[in-house]
Amino acid sequence: MRSSKPADPAATTADPRPEGVTIVLLQDVLDAPELGIRLLHGDAAARTLPLHRACTTDMPDPTRYVSAGSLVFTGLVWRRAPEDSEAFVAHLARAGVAAVAAGEALFGEVPADVVDACARHGLPLLAVPDDVPFSSVIEFLTRRWSGARMDRLQTGLARQRRLLAAFADGHALDELLARVCREFDVPAWLFTATGTLVAGRDTIGEPVIDACCAIALTAPRLPAETADGHTVLPVGAALRDRTTAWFLVLGAGAARSEDCVDAFTELATVAALERVRREDRLRAVWDTA
């Protein structure tokens, strides 16, 4: 009898991905019948965790070989005694991995102490059948990630065409910014490098503006985040002369959504056109004067 009891297979949830948002979830791995992977520990929320990459390791201290948001595959070779499980899982939890996928080939099952350690650290645990190589699961994920990237590209191109068409039809930049803010429920503002507000309808404090301007002028590369989580995006070729550039600032936490950042990056392209148009208009006034 197996000592590791799988989670309730009926505890599934509706797909949490908004329409048009392309990410790979832990549920996608569980839903693949050809893999036969089971959830040994994890609640309904665990099934909706996004997976950003896959890592394979059997080092007792896996910290150097894993990264945050990854699904970690392990054959349990590191386990020489039950107490080894606590140390291994604790390392993974501190690294911020999304979940662990343990192979059943070595012990014929995932030992109960591994399940218990994952439960203590709140780390979702999957069981990979002994006849399913890790390479097959990673190939499955790679195909899903490739498809998600292609979907994101197509979605981004379609959104950018809509924004450019609306801009060409005379819609104001402030209106287009408000439209994207409503779509992702994220506040955003368009600033000059000196902190002058160009577009944006939400309230923002002076200290936040100062912090965003400092990041915009000094960060080695953009996008960049402030200490309180605001994201600063460049508008056009902002790195050439930052002192006269425009910057798009997203509300705290927005950088955690790649689709959200993509959408505002596309809006930044439209904002760059508006900036050029204003400069041309000002130049024409100077020439006339």
Over 115-147, what HEC string results? HHHHHHCCCCEEEECCCCCHHHHHHHHHHHHHH
Write down the pTM of the prediction: 0.56
Domain boundary among 121, 141, 161: 141
What pLDDT is recorded for position 117? 97
* 232 falls within a domain: yes
* 8 falls within a domain: no
* 158 falls within a domain: no
Domain boundary among 141, 157, 181: 141
* 64 falls within a domain: yes
| Residue 91 shares a structural domain with residue 179 | no
| Residue 211 shares a structural domain with residue 110 | no
Q: How many domains does the chain have?
A: 2
Distance CA 275, CA 173 (A): 10
Domain of 38 in residue numbering reads as: 26-141
In the three-class reduction of DSSP (H, G, I as helix; E, B as strand; rest coil), residue 182 is classed as helix
Question: For residue 87, how many other CB atoms are within 10 A of its CB?
Answer: 12
What pLDDT is recorded for position 20? 43
Question: For residue 177, how many other CB atoms are within 10 A of its CB?
Answer: 24
Q: Write the Ramachandran bin of 15: left for phi over 0, alpha for psi from -120 to 50, otherwise beta.
A: beta
| Residue 224 shares a structural domain with residue 129 | no
Across the chain, which has 289 residues, the per-10-residue mean pLDDT values are 46 48 81 93 90 92 92 96 96 94 95 96 96 92 76 64 72 83 88 86 86 86 85 74 83 71 82 74 69
As a whole number of Å, the end-to-end CA separation of the chain is 90
What pLDDT is recorded for position 18? 45
* 6 falls within a domain: no
Q: Write the Ramachandran bin of 177: left for phi over 0, alpha for psi from -120 to 50, otherwise beta.
A: alpha
Distance CA 201, CA 190 (A): 10
- CA separation (Å) from 75 to 33, 54, 78, 110, 126? 21, 14, 8, 10, 12
What pLDDT is recorded for position 30? 93
* 156 falls within a domain: no
Distance CA 137, CA 129 (A): 11
Q: At what angle do helices 173-184 and 134-168 cross, to 10 degrees?
A: 150
Distance CA 187, CA 200 (A): 8
| Residue 176 shares a structural domain with residue 135 | no
What pLDDT is recorded for position 41? 95
In the three-class reduction of DSSP (H, G, I as helix; E, B as strand; rest coil), residue 102 is classed as strand
| Residue 203 shares a structural domain with residue 106 | no
What pLDDT is recorded for position 98? 93
What pLDDT is recorded for position 153? 63
| Residue 44 shares a structural domain with residue 114 | yes
| Residue 36 shares a structural domain with residue 130 | yes
* 155 falls within a domain: no
| Residue 203 shares a structural domain with residue 272 | yes
What pLDDT is recorded for position 270? 82
Cβ–Cβ under 8 Å, residues 250 and 223: no
In the three-class reduction of DSSP (H, G, I as helix; E, B as strand; rest coil), residue 63 is classed as helix
Domain boundary among 103, 119, 141: 141
DSSP letter, residue 4: S
| Residue 133 shares a structural domain with residue 187 | no
Burial letters for 186-216: b for 16+ Cβ neighbours within 10 Å, e otherwise? bbbbbbbbeeeebbbeeebeeebbebbbebb
* 161 falls within a domain: no
In the three-class reduction of DSSP (H, G, I as helix; E, B as strand; rest coil), residue 188 is classed as strand
CATH number of the CATH domain containing 114? 3.40.1390.20
- CA separation (Å) from 144 to 11, 32, 53, 55, 147? 23, 11, 11, 16, 5
Cβ–Cβ under 8 Å, residues 182 and 176: no
| Residue 203 shares a structural domain with residue 103 | no
CATH number of the CATH domain containing 181? 3.30.450.40
